Chains A and B, each alone.
Chain A
Amino acid sequence: EAQVTQNPRYLITVTGKKLTVTCSQNMNHEYMSWYRQDPGLGLRQIYYSMNVEVTDKGDVPEGYKVSRKEKRNFPLILESPSPNQTSLYFCASGDRGHNIQYFGAGTRLSVL
């Protein structure tokens, strides 16, 4: 079954404590992306990756890092989380033409 898997689904942490949200896809997709969803602001792209070792900033990259060492994995790293990063995060992957993108179930993060 085609899947984008995010972990954890829920996370509560404190300001400044580094965390990583993992994302894995089993469709051999080249394209992967991270979004955050906030009330009234919709989904906004954080980072994306067109292929292994190729990453680029989206619209709201500040405070986030990503890496793409393997095709299937695209972790989102918050080196020093702050309360304004409390949000619902989605990972997505797509084929070369990225006409169809598949989204994970989401990670709800609370930074206290």
Chain B
Amino acid sequence: DAKTTQPNSMESNEEEPVHLPCNHSTISGTDYIHWYRQLPSQGPEYVIHGLTSNVNNRMASLAIAEDRKSSTLILHRATLRDAAVYYCILRDSGNTGKLIFGQGTTLQVKP
């Protein structure tokens, strides 16, 4: 399974955009890039996923580099409720559904 590298922690101010980076230099052509987040005392929550093209949904945007070796999760206006651990995960389209969670990035949002 390909690995991802994320910063341990990041800080943001409330109502400002947040860019959470993820490096995945060993990504294969069939790996999807998934993002989940885990709020304090809760289970992980799906955020977004993509393969090659940039993706947008109501929660966030996912910007994928042209060579797919890195990606960025974008929260357009951070709120206090966005404080969580964010996990960048690669998942093979043919695999068993297993999500391999790394250490993630702990996002702190300041009022």
- Using CB atoms and an 8 Å cutoff, list the residues of chain A in contact with chain B: 4, 31, 33, 35, 42-45, 48, 50, 56, 58-59, 90, 92, 94, 98-106
Contacts and interface: CB of A to CB of B under 8 A. Distances in A.
B101 A58 contact: no
A106 B42 contact: yes
B45 A103 contact: yes
Interface string B39-64: 00111111001000000000000000
B28 to A, nearest CB: 17
Secondary structure call for the A interface: strand
Contacts of A42: 101-104
A101 B101 contact: no
A48 B98 CA distance: 8
A26 B18 CA distance: 34
A98 B41 CA distance: 24
B29 interface: no
B46 A100 contact: yes
